[in-house]
């Protein structure tokens, strides 16, 4: 029996690149397959890749060096643990201003870690007796992130912000154009 006579292999099926469900392996496809197999071999089995790996190592080292320069953190901050960097950044939010969780994450050298900032703010042991301005950190919608786990601190956060002169709209939002701290933006 011919390959195309087998069930599901005919050209009239309307599937695949050549009209059949499967294509007969040609010499060209076998060569391409063997090249893919060779390229997926372990690096030590590919001598031609040693130059490429050296370039990748150079790029990695350069990227790491540039990242250290671009993160804006001095050596003292870079040596701190992530939570201390978060608390340090939050403690610099001025009176009467707010910042988002994402903004604090970026300032702490942790871009994309807004949830980590939220967790750090939640973990402050005695929220009223701290230099960390936890109440000035809000979500990106301009509202207080409400959760039952905070045991009433949602209302306390709103009271503290209002005491600093920050106004809330009827729907509980803070006007970023008026009250957002612009550091890190």
Q: Which of 127, 101, 103, 129 is CA-nearest to residue 114? A: 101
Residues 128 and 165 in one domain: yes
**14, part of any domain:** no
Query: CA–CA distance from 105 to each of 85, 102, 120, 142 (Å)?
Result: 9, 5, 10, 16
Specify if 84 maps to a domain: yes
CA-based angle 94:98:103, to the nearest 5? 105
Confidence (pLDDT) at 122: 85
State pLDDT tens for residues 60-99. 454 444 444 445 566 677 778 889 999 999 999 999 999 9
Identify the pLDDT of residue 116: 94
Report the domain count for the chain.
2
Residues 80 and 170 in one domain: yes
Neighbours of 183 (CB within 10 A): 15
Same domain for 90 and 45: no
Quick one: tokens of 81?
A: 């643990």
Query: What does the block give as tokens for 166?
Result: 């920050």
Q: Are residues 56 and 80 in the same domain?
A: no
The reported pLDDT for the residue numbered 157 is: 86
- Give pLDDT, residue 69: 45
**Cα separation, 51 vs 71, whole angstroms:** 30
pLDDT score at 164: 94
Same domain flag for 170 and 82: yes
| 92 lies in the same domain as 142 | yes
Please give the pLDDT value at position 117. 94
Q: Tell me which DSSP letter residue 33 carries.
A: H
**Confidence at residue 131, expressed as pLDDT on a 0 to 100 scale:** 81
Note whether 111 and 143 are same-domain residues: yes
Q: What is the pLDDT of residue 130?
A: 72
Low-confidence residues in the chain, pLDDT < 70: 1-25, 27-28, 30, 33-75, 125-129, 148-153, 184-185
pLDDT at res. 124 = 81
- For residue 174, the cross-strand partners are 168
Residues 64 and 83 in one domain: no
> Considering the domain boundaries, does residue 167 fall inside one?
yes
5 within some domain: no
The dihedral of CA 37, 39, 42, 47: what is its sign?
positive
Same domain, 51 and 137: no
Encode burial over 14-41: b for 16+ CB neighbours within 10 A, e otherwise.
eeeeeebeeeeeeeeeeeeeeeeeeeee
- Domain extent for 146: 75-179
Please provide the distance, in angstroms rounded to a whole number, between the alpha carbons at the two ends of the chain.
69
């Amino acid at each position: 029996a011919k390959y195309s006579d087998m069930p599901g292999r005919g050209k009239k099926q309307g599937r695949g690149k050549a009209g059949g469900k499967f294509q007969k392996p040609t010499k060209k496809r076998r060569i391409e397959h063997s090249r893919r197999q060779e390229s997926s071999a372990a690096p030590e089995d590919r001598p031609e890749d040693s130059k490429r790996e050296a370039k990748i190592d150079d790029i990695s080292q350069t990227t790491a060096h540039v990242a250290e320069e671009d993160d804006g953190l001095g050596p003292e901050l870079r040596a701190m643990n992530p939570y201390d960097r978060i608390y340090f950044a939050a403690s610099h939010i001025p009176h009467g201003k707010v910042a988002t969780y994402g903004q604090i994450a970026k300032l702490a050298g942790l871009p994309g870690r807004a949830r980590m900032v939220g967790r750090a703010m939640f973990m402050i042991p005695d929220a009223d007796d701290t230099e960390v301005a936890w109440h000035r950190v809000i979500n990106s919608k301009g509202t207080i992130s409400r959760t039952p786990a905070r045991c009433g601190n949602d209302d306390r956060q709103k009271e503290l912000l209002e005491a600093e002169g920050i106004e809330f709209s009827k729907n509980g939002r803070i006007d970023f154009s008026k009250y957002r701290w612009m550091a890190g933006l």
